[in-house]
Structure 1
Amino acid sequence: MSAPPQHAGDIRQLRRVALSGLLGSAVEFYDFLVYGSVAALVFGDLFFPEADPAVSTIAALGTFAAGYVARPLGGIVFGHFGDRLGRKASMLWTMTLMGTGSLLIGLLPTYDVIGVWAPVLLVLLRVVQGIAIGGEWGGATLMAAEHAGDRPRGRWTAFTQLGAPAGTLASTAVVTVVATLPDEDFLSWGWRVPFLLSVVLLAIGLYVRVSVTESPLFRAEQPRGAARRRRPPVLDVLRRPRAVLLGAGVGIAPFAAQSVMTTFLIAYATGHGYSRQQVLTGVTCAAAVALVVLPLAAAASDRWGRRPVVALGALLSAATAFPVFALVGSGRPGLLILACVIGHGIAQSIMYGPLAALLTELFGTRTRYTGASLGYQTATLIGGGLSPLLAQSLAATYGGTTPVALLLLVAAALTVLAVWRLGETNRTSLSARTAVSPAEQGVAP
């Protein structure tokens, strides 16, 4: 039996949706990663001054992890409304919430002013950020994938994925500029500037996002699925958890590599002889390389499959884990930049490029927002949120980066295992998955 006709949007609207996804994700990742960079540089001194330097850094990165803990919750909440009421409304809310959280962090008094309330409010706002970004990715990705229909979904969803390196590039560039300020100025007001600038990016992103139309697949499914939507989508997803668990497994290594090669590396390298500018330059160069490698990997997954491309990136991450940290330990800025480019710009981007298309292809239309978001955000929690905290603790305990390299090696192994257990999805029709996908049923697609 042939698949139902694909309800794909026209190419002009698809381009607008892709641009919306790119800008929205860039804003979200800018806000989210600015926090990681600033936390690694100064939050230990500003919000946890009672602790010794190592403990204060761990505490600051702990607030970073709090945002990741909230991300699955954001995926469930906004996934629920995205699957019930539509993708577009959820996308507008997530962007507004993220921008507001960043603005308030930029205005937050420090420990010296309000005492213990400073770290408490910091964690609370970080959770708000986590909830927002937890719902953002699913909406932006699904809009691109569902408007693309049977067109090469890897290439179109890559625009949403490009928001990560674009946001990283913007955040590290801004932090690099303000980090050139004298230490006294940077500690007193300079660190606030990147957070306050997010208001400008928020306005641009909302302007573009308002103009896009709702997903054609969602509109087509609404009349047929309305009577069957009494149960929350998350319950349908968790009744058959295989797709979520394997999808999360695929995402562990790319997020571990991203967090270790940005947030942890900034904290570690600045404490071992590198200047703030040298480390941030390395992260910026890696993000620039990722802007090229990531879409190429996504396009390759359209031709050769999601599984082999993701597996190739994971194996490359594993093979270069120890050499990358040997380069970091050299004390030479040029080799530090090379380490960032290899570990983040190339290996991580190869894994991350096809991830959006892969996760959207694991679920039916009625649960796609919830399912894809839950899989993705669970991966960010395990791979991204806990990795910098664990890496900093291991480095402090054992006095070196060998355990951190082993951490990346284990993450890569988990991703390869999950990819091996999944069936290939790049040739499937999204419009045929209005109910339960083969991956959700526990069979290969």
Structure 2
Amino acid sequence: MTQTMPPTPSSTSPSAPPASESLNTPHMRRILTSSFVGSAIEYYDFLLYATAAALVFNKVFFVNLDPVWATFASFGTLAAGYLARPVGGAIFGHYGDRLGRKKMLVLSMLLMGFATTAMGLLPTTAAIGMAAPALLITLRVIQGIAVGGEWGGAMLIALEQAPGGKRGFAASFANMGAPAGATLATLAMSAATLLPEDQFLSWGWRIPFLISAVLVVIALVIRLKISESPLFQQFEHEADRRRMPILDVFTQYPRQLGLGVLAGIAQFTMAGMVTVWAVSEAVALGADKTGVLNAKAIAAAGMLIATIVSARLCDRFGRRRIMLFGISAGIIAAYPILMLVQTGTVAGYATAVILGQVIQGFMFGPLGAFIAEMFPTRVRYTGSSIAYQASSTIGAGFTPMLAAGILAATSGIAVLGGLWMAVLGVCALAVIFAPEGHRRELADIR
């Protein structure tokens, strides 16, 4: 009796397009549009909270605390969302590797839209007491879980359908969504700050959060029209044997996971310093908050351009070289950025944030492909998501809070700058020792 065997994955199958194929086909344009737009809206929601944490929540939800500790508590709730991101990555990665990328992308979008819209409707501490910050933290955790599942799915559904020689650029469309979403979030909050202070703190800050409901509907319409990753479908017959992809990642790929986390921390540390902590610091030192937010929006646009350029370059020169260039630039720029922020002027902050975000873009562009190419298809969603989201938790989730604490304890930037440079140095070593996969076929990675 002849037994029919499942198809053997092959790099020559239709699901592994040759490098000569173009991204400019109707199918790939839909995929890349979905990856970018969905990611941009998710990050609009997630990063809108970061701006509100720096400008609003300390005055609305932590009114009974000393101003310094209110800011610290506000950044603490910001960190709660980042703590939830690896949990979201593990949950969505597990089911994404078993059930498919598309289903998880739709679910993550619905969760994020619910949490962000609910924040816009949340009563203040003055209205409902301590239930307000408790609900705020709960909604922030839901945001973290949702965005934890978003990035891996959006990145992989593009990466796994892209021609081999253009994978880095295709994967970066999910990354491009972050600065695009940050730009939209910052502009929305900046427009709200044009209101008189009492109206801004009373209801104006809520409008950008409520806009999320409309944006999520737009993203869902686009996302529901895309197809599942053929490379996932090629391995779908193994789903019953992939009962716990998370265990496979930790037991079979711990080195790749650890190196992926360390590599990602570099750009997230830069993000936490220049787009969250520095906003609060510059405004506290006297810079006009609307001017600071406008500068931040311009810087996010600069990061978007740098992300596109670096993603293009990483397909030609490899992921490692481009990421090391960005990290090295970050080490050199650490002290100048801190000194510029300490001027307490819009011009000083603008120079710092534009410099920092452009440097961050050169770390960010290759990052999606760099991490994803460490893992085989059967655990790629899980491994990539956990590595990326853990690095975001460590790098961006705690950086603003730690930076504020270190500066308060030392009354100067010397220690803060030295620690920042040391962190980036460790990240550079991780990139050096991590495997380079840009010339390998995804189906051949084991």
Q: Is the shorter-chain TM-score for this pair beyond 0.5, marking a shared fold? A: yes
Please, which of 130, 133, 139 is the counterpart of residue 116 of structure 1? 130
Aligned to 2:277: 264
Structure 1: runs of 5+ lacking an equivalent? 437-445
More deviation, 37-46/82-91: 37-46
Structure 2: runs of 5+ lacking an equivalent? 1-8, 18-22
Q: 1:214 aligns to what SS in structure 2?
A: coil
Question: Amino acid of the residue matched to residue 19 of structure 1?
Answer: T
Residue-by-residue CA offset, 1:249-271 (whole Å, 9 max, x unaligned): 10001001011111111111110
In structure 1, distance between residues paired with 2:408 and 2:394: 20
Kept in 2, the 8 Å contact 1:253–1:408? The answer is: no
Aligned to 2:259: 246
Offset of residue 226 of structure 1: 3.2
In structure 1, distance between residues paired with 2:196 and 2:408: 28
Please, which of 277, 280, 297 is the counterpart of residue 290 of structure 2? 277
Residue-by-residue CA offset, 1:72-120 (whole Å, 9 max, x unaligned): 0000101111000000000000011001100001100110011010111
- For normalisation by structure 2, the TM-score amounts to 0.94
Residue-by-residue CA offset, 1:223-259 (whole Å, 9 max, x unaligned): 2x13422x30000000031111100110001001011
Residue-by-residue CA offset, 1:341-383 (whole Å, 9 max, x unaligned): 1111x11110011001111101111100000000000100110
Kept in 1, the 8 Å contact 2:281–2:341? The answer is: no
In structure 2, distance between residues paired with 1:28 and 1:143: 16
Kept in 2, the 8 Å contact 1:328–1:339? The answer is: yes
In structure 2, distance between residues paired with 1:294 and 1:108: 35
In structure 1, distance between residues paired with 2:240 and 2:148: 28
Aligned to 1:234: 246
Q: 1:49 aligns to what SS in structure 2?
A: coil
In structure 2, distance between residues paired with 1:319 and 1:107: 43
Query: Is the counterpart of residue 195 in structure 1 residue 202 in structure 2?
Result: no
In structure 2, distance between residues paired with 1:411 and 1:179: 34
Aligned to 2:417: 405
Question: Amino acid of the residue matched to residue 444 of structure 2?
Answer: A
Please, which of 304, 316, 325 is the counterpart of residue 291 of structure 1? 304
Query: Is the counterpart of residue 362 in structure 1 residue 374 in structure 2?
Result: yes
Kept in 1, the 8 Å contact 2:117–2:210? The answer is: yes
Number of corresponding residues? 430
Offset of residue 36 of structure 1: 0.6
Distance 1:402 1:176, change over 3 A: farther
Question: Amino acid of the residue matched to residue 63 of structure 2?
Answer: P
Aligned to 2:12: 5
Please, which of 57, 78, 87 is the counterpart of residue 92 of structure 2? 78
In structure 2, distance between residues paired with 1:217 and 1:126: 33
Question: Amino acid of the residue matched to residue 365 of structure 1?
Answer: T
Aligned to 1:348: 360
Percent identity over the alignment? 42
Please, which of 336, 340, 364 is the counterpart of residue 327 of structure 1? 340
Q: How does 1:4-403 map to 2 (within 5 A)?
A: 4-6=11-13, 7-8=15-16, 11-223=25-237, 225-229=238-242, 231-240=243-252, 241-344=254-357, 346-403=358-415
**Superposition RMSD on alpha carbons, in Å?**
1.4
Question: Amino acid of the residue matched to residue 82 of structure 1?
Answer: G
Offset of residue 149 of structure 1: 4.2
In structure 1, distance between residues paired with 2:163 and 2:57: 45
Kept in 2, the 8 Å contact 1:311–1:415? The answer is: no
Question: Amino acid of the residue matched to residue 202 of structure 1?
Answer: V
Kept in 1, the 8 Å contact 2:264–2:388? The answer is: yes
Offset of residue 8 of structure 1: 4.0
Kept in 1, the 8 Å contact 2:165–2:315? The answer is: no
In structure 1, distance between residues paired with 2:261 and 2:110: 26
Structure 1 runs, 4 residues or longer, greater than 3 Å off: 8-11, 400-404
In structure 1, distance between residues paired with 2:119 and 2:347: 33
Kept in 2, the 8 Å contact 1:71–1:130? The answer is: yes
Offset of residue 3 of structure 1: 5.6
Question: Amino acid of the residue matched to residue 266 of structure 1?
Answer: V
Distance 1:34 1:227, change over 3 A: closer
Aligned to 1:442: none
Kept in 2, the 8 Å contact 1:16–1:212? The answer is: yes
Distance 1:227 1:204, change over 3 A: closer
Kept in 2, the 8 Å contact 1:258–1:384? The answer is: yes
Question: Amino acid of the residue matched to residue 25 of structure 1?
Answer: S
Aligned to 2:20: none
